[in-house]
Structure 1
């Protein structure tokens, strides 16, 4: 995508979120299922290595982050109305009979499953073990890359792992992020570890073009992503 077009897209999105005030998480929307059975390895990172910014202008965003490194944006929007629409009860009422397609987002796994949204929510949102693709706490997307994007957590928490384009991570594309965290991550030298952080409800993660990233849901999470190319 041409640089000018990408800048216009960034400006358009920034215009939507700049008139902002901090979002205070109000409940879990009926989504979280903490308690016995949650995978023991699902934990927040010990030290967030992605900058958090609550006072970032558009000009500084373009200069320091848009094309070079991730950043976590705080206090951008009051999306309380949207959060209410994304509660478990509301989404089931609106889309319970709709058919959704489940698939893994990596290079080699193309298996897809179609099922009603209500069946997905009521039967498949359970903690994941390291060796299978689940959809609750412990689920996530293995390492992959694409164009730049914003990802906002609406409910729950999502842990992110990020590498720059020139640094391909060590991972198996058909294994889960949870398996990677347990089996590969502990053996990585500090210099080989990714940038990482846990994104909480109301926070927005921005990542630049072609950055490798993998995600791990610490709770049953609802989030929204916007890709710019």
Structure 2
């Protein structure tokens, strides 16, 4: 996206009156002539690199090297303070501290300093700005950004633009999903599950105790020490609530915890599976052998899940306990604009954040020339949305929200699930790698023993006899999607570059692909990429960073300016 023109600047000013904290301006502003470009002099011989290549280079540096580099010139000061660089260093540092929860302190740079020395301080390259008592017993000296003039970059401006964009009324206005109350399991199956059509059940969770007990204040008081996972990091719940309140991230970290019932059984007693979803056939495998299927989800406004299809050909239900969620859903085989899956289902190119997708592609969904338009709805506390198998969907939290989601297998999608498990083993998710190959056979055996009335053996015979490679029957991928920034993502060039870059930066040291799916479509898959809409994980530049920095692997030809 290139930001030019008076109207665009006026629109931006409505969202962000203070501007970028480091003074970065959209590339188009260079033609306004208000200040000269600081990059040629500030980068020296490195000025031949575009912004993407510069950040590729900087992802090999450790924290001290970034701090020293920030002192060299105005341009390098800005590059060395890209938040994703410091966020990635925090993820890698915490991977070396298993069992320790992170406590954020404002930005990710200050957080890393807090982790390293046990208290907050202003790292090299910034300047201190006042002090306050820190909860850890020291003085908190937050990093205060310096505004630089003459730095123009769409790549670096876009995250700030998305992070400060106000959720637009037109994004929320449309509501095209059926809303029903009082449906019996038979009515639900006939009207919605068999036609494979979404629906919002307005009364399915209205009586849950969780609606009263899972407010932010009560969760903090009753379960503040509960460890939860969000974006590759482990938090005490009270510390995550603090992060969510203070975060200025473009895509805030999102609690997506599959072990919450094991860690806190009281939470599991404060909600019930709605009766229309009670027949979950994966239960024949038992909790230890079935794929991950149940998650606690929580996050602030602008957090949520990017477009994905739920894994293993399952359907899902998602109950909002507090807050409001905007859902966008495309039917099977209808890929959302701006989303580009690979043919094998292992790869997905898409905008970096949900806000970016809304800014650049939402109106395209409703263009007069578009053949198929999405179904949309806002789901509020006490309501449950049914996400049928094969449907693309994304979710944007409109405010602080807490939800429960479960993926399930019913007699309706059973044939698709069996065929998928037997013929698409490389796309199975939610289990350790060594358990995936046998999942289909184990499920067929267990179903034949416990539910012989459903004829699973015959279903399996037909599935294995088929020569069709696609498991879903929808013409799309049946597995989860990994957002790894392929070449086909389009957005004036900027979104493609940002996707490729952020995926490199978001590769943590632990090799854990941490999902962000709102409907269970991206599980916390310890096997690494390829099965989830991942925001962290893999083994990218982590190994090379400290080695390059310590060995002086780069010769920087910059001049001071």
Partner of 2:394: 214
SS at 2:221 equivalent: helix
In our comparison, the structure showing a higher alpha carbon Rg is 2
User: Post-superposition shift, 1:178?
Assistant: 1.2
Q: Does the 8 Å contact 1:126/1:137 carry over to 2?
A: no
What does 1:78-97 correspond to in 2, within 5 Å? 78-97=206-225
The offset of 1:48, in angstroms, is 0.7
Question: C-alpha distance in 2, partners of 1:98/1:89?
Answer: 14
User: In structure 2, how many angstroms separate the alpha carbons of the residues matched to 1:58 and 1:133?
Assistant: 37
SS of equivalent to 2:308: coil
How far apart are residue 132 of structure 1 and its match?
Answer: 3.4
SS at match of 2:377: strand
Which fold has the larger relative contact order, with Cα–Cα distance below 8 Å and residues 6 or more apart in sequence?
A: 1
Cα deviation 1:37-63 (Å, max 9, x = unaligned): 974235453221111112423222111
Aligned length: 184
Mapped to 1, the partners of 2:164 and 2:183 lie a distance apart of: 36
Deviates more, 1:37-46 or 1:92-101: 37-46
Specify whether residues 128 and 162 from structure 1 end up closer, same or farther in structure 2 by C-alpha distance, changes over 3 A only: farther
Q: 2:200–2:385: 8 Å Cα contact kept in structure 1?
A: yes
Name the structure with the higher strand share. Answer: 1
SS of the residue corresponding to residue 125 of structure 1 reads helix
Say whether the 8 Å CA contact 2:318–2:404 is kept in structure 1.
yes
More off after superposition, 80-89 vs 146-155: 80-89
TM-score, normalised via structure 2 length:
0.31
Alignment of 1:56-205 (within 5 A): 56-67=183-194, 68-103=196-231, 112-126=232-246, 131-134=250-253, 135-146=299-310, 147-170=314-337, 171=339, 172-173=349-350, 175-188=352-365, 189=367, 190-205=370-385
User: CA offsets, 1:175-213, max 9 Å, x none?
Assistant: 111110111112332534321111111111011112111
State the TM-score, normalized to the length of structure 1: 0.71
Q: 1:71 to 1:206 in 2, by over 3 A?
A: same
Contact 1:160 1:197 in 2 (8 A): yes
> Are positions 1:50 and 2:227 aligned together?
no
CA distance in 2, matches of 1:88, 1:219: 12
Aligned counterparts of 1:122 and 1:128: Cα–Cα separation in 2 = 12
Gaps of 5+ in 2: 1-162, 254-298, 340-348, 410-561
Q: Distance in 2 between matches of 1:194 and 1:126?
A: 33
What is the RMSD of the two structures over their aligned residues, measured on CA atoms? 2.3
**Is the CA contact (8 Å cut-off) linking 2:228 and 2:234 kept in structure 1?**
yes
Unaligned runs of 5+ in 1: 1-36, 104-111
Give the drift of 1:77: 4.1
Q: Which has the higher helix share?
A: 2
Indicate if the aligned counterparts of 2:330 and 2:336 stay in contact, CA closer than 8 A: yes
* Residue in structure 2 matched with residue 12 of structure 1 by the alignment: none
1:109 aligns with none
Q: Report the 3-state secondary structure (helix = DSSP H, G, I; strand = E; otherwise coil) of the residue aligned with 2:217.
A: helix
